[in-house]
């Protein structure tokens, strides 16, 4: 019996101890409001303001809240914990004065008296992006270049004009925070047309639309039906998971690839025949989708061309070729190969890497695709798909 009583006493003591532990650190529910926020200072930046302050000394302080109306006319609420003494107020477009109501809230959800502050954020950096933007005609479309020095996440909308209805509609969006970007909008007719560009942010704010007129340069995709593979350098080994050279033009964008192994040789290449002379405007390549900016995806590329069949048929030939261009494949983020690709990098990779050919480049029937360096610095290269655009020398526009 004594054992039972002793056991019950232990349980009772444990319950009491637990209750005391639960009660310790808990604030009783009360109706006493916390003290007011004091020493409020404001730092105005482009598109936002930083409000700093001193918290009231109440032990049961939970957070400080700011209420204000953003540039879209929407009521906005920002809260900062009791362990902070500043907050960032976002959602502003053009510079103007805004009233902010600040108050403290305790753990009983009592609110302090309101303290009003005045902020005047500077013009949103989206306007700097828009003012830095340049437009130029490129083969098959329009080129856009801009700077985003504060690396703000924005969406740049490219608009096309419907002449019949005199309306503008969204044609393509660019999601980016890159400090500078040079992009191309393709698939546009080679006729003088009106276009527009607008920049918006994550809060739904938009700049005014900038309108401009350009005539895209004529180009067409070169039909791969006429392409054929020329002799390979015997020092290389050509391999594929499927159908060799034709793998480059079969509209399959997976891990099947056309691959060249250099067996310890850094520079690898293959030679091909267009079937007729072509003035190239650009080319686009897709690498294997199981390696993103890695392994044997070409990074440093050179294209050379010739119209001499004997030169093209000699896999060792070094003379008789003219350089068409040299390019480096880079991530939009600008990060090195060792850094995990960002979402923007992956989106660009999956869409295919686009390379512009100088308009002053000559016309060639035979080209050699040279990989000087791969992303993984391997002795090989691989490609899942390859496309060429330009003008046929004997073709009609």
Domains defined along the chain, listed by start: 38-119 (2.60.40.10), 126-218 (2.60.40.10), 221-392 (2.60.120.260)
Range of weakest confidence among 125-134, 207-216, 264-273: 264-273
Name the residue with tokens 């044997």.
296
pLDDT at site 333? 85
Range of weakest confidence among 26-30, 201-205, 224-228, 311-315: 26-30
Average pLDDT over residues 214-225: 94
Average pLDDT over residues 200-208: 93
Q: Quick check: 48 pLDDT over 90? A: yes
| pTM score of the predicted model | 0.69
Q: Which helix (H) or strand (E) holds 135?
A: strand 134-138
Q: Which helix (H) or strand (E) holds 111?
A: none
pLDDT at site 27? 53
Number of CB atoms found within 10 A of residue 170's CB: 11
Distance from C-alpha of 323 to C-alpha of 329, rounded to nearest angstrom = 18
Per-residue pLDDT of 373-396, as tens digits, reads: 999 999 888 999 999 999 998 755
pLDDT at site 237? 73
Please indicate whether residue 396 or residue 199 has the higher confidence score (pLDDT).
199
The closest alpha carbon to 133, from 153, 111, 157, 114, belongs to 157
pLDDT at site 308? 97
Query: Could you give the C-alpha distances from 303 to 3, 122, 364, in angstroms and in order?
Result: 92, 48, 11
The closest alpha carbon to 272, from 134, 165, 383, 171, belongs to 383
Q: Phi first, then psi: give them for residue 373, nearest 5 degrees.
A: -155, 135
Mean pLDDT of the chain: 89
pLDDT at site 14? 44
Question: 278 CB contacts (<8 Å, ≥6 apart)?
Answer: 222, 363, 364, 365, 388, 390, 391, 392, 393
Are 53 and 116 in contact by the 8 Å Cβ rule? The answer is no
Per-residue pLDDT of 317-330, as tens digits, reads: 999 999 999 999 98
pLDDT at site 257? 84
Q: Which helix (H) or strand (E) holds 285?
A: strand 268-286
Average pLDDT over residues 348-375: 93
Percent of the chain residues topping a pLDDT of 90: 70
Average pLDDT over residues 28-51: 94
Q: Quick check: 188 pLDDT over 90? A: yes
Beta strands in 287-363 (DSSP E): 298-306, 322-328, 353-356
104 - beta bridge partners? 64
Per-residue pLDDT of 5-32, as tens digits, reads: 444 444 444 444 444 444 444 555 888 9
Rg (CA), the chain: 32
Distance from C-alpha of 189 to C-alpha of 194, rounded to nearest angstrom = 12
Q: Which helix (H) or strand (E) holds 279?
A: strand 268-286
Name the residue with tokens 């079969």.
250
Distance from C-alpha of 228 to C-alpha of 273, rounded to nearest angstrom = 5
Burial, 163: exposed, middle or buried (Cβ in 10 Å; 0-12, 13-18, 19+)?
exposed
1 - beta bridge partners? none
Q: Quick check: 281 pLDDT over 70? A: yes
Two tokens, residue 147: 């700077």
The closest alpha carbon to 117, from 64, 58, 74, belongs to 64
Average pLDDT over residues 272-283: 95
Going by the DSSP 8-state scheme, the letter that residue 246 receives in this structure is G
Average pLDDT over residues 284-306: 93
Q: Quick check: 343 pLDDT over 60? A: yes
Q: Quick check: 108 pLDDT over 80? A: yes
Number of CB atoms found within 10 A of residue 75's CB: 8
Average pLDDT over residues 196-205: 94
Q: Quick check: 240 pLDDT over 60? A: no
Distance from C-alpha of 93 to C-alpha of 235, rounded to nearest angstrom = 61
Average pLDDT over residues 232-258: 78
Distance from C-alpha of 125 to C-alpha of 303, rounded to nearest angstrom = 39
Average pLDDT over residues 247-258: 87
Average pLDDT over residues 105-114: 96
């Amino acid at each position: 019996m004594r054992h039972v009583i002793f056991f019950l006493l232990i349980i009772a003591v444990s319950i009491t101890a637990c209750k005391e532990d639960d009660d310790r650190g808990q604030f009783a529910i009360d109706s006493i409001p916390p003290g007011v926020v004091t020493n409020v200072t404001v730092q105005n930046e482009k598109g936002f303001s930083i409000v700093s302050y001193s918290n009231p000394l109440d032990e049961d302080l939970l957070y400080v809240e700011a209420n204000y109306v953003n540039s879209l006319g929407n009521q906005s609420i920002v809260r900062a914990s009791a362990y902070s003494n500043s907050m960032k107020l976002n959602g502003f477009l053009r510079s103007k004065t805004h009233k902010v109501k600040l108050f403290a809230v305790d753990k009983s959800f009592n609110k302090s008296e309101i303290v009003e502050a005045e902020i005047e954020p500077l013009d949103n950096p989206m306007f700097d992006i828009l003012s830095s933007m340049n437009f130029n005609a490129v083969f098959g479309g329009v080129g856009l270049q801009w700077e985003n020095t504060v690396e703000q996440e924005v969406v740049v909308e490219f608009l096309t004009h419907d002449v019949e209805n005199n309306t503008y509609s969204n044609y393509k969006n660019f999601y980016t925070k890159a400090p500078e970007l040079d992009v191309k909008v393709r698939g546009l007719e080679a006729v003088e047309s009106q276009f527009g560009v607008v920049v918006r942010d994550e809060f739904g704010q938009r700049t005014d639309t900038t309108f401009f007129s350009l005539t895209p340069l004529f180009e067409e995709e070169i039909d791969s039906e006429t392409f054929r593979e020329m002799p390979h350098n015997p020092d290389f080994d050509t391999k594929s998971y499927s159908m060799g050279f034709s793998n480059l033009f079969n509209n399959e964008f997976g891990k099947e690839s056309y691959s060249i192994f250099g067996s310890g040789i850094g520079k690898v290449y293959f030679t091909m025949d267009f079937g007729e002379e072509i003035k190239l405007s650009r080319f686009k390549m897709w690498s294997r989708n199981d390696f993103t900016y890695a392994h044997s995806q070409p990074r440093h590329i050179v294209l050379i061309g010739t119209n001499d069949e004997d030169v093209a048929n000699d896999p060792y030939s070094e003379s008789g070729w003219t350089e068409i261009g040299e390019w480096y494949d880079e991530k939009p983020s600008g990060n090195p190969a060792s850094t995990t690709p960002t979402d923007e990098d992956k989106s660009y990779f999956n869409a295919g890497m686009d390379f512009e050919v100088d308009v002053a480049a000559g016309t060639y029937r035979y080209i050699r695709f040279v990989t000087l360096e791969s992303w993984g610095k391997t002795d090989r290269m691989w490609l899942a798909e390859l496309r060429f655009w330009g003008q046929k020398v004997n073709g009609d526009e």
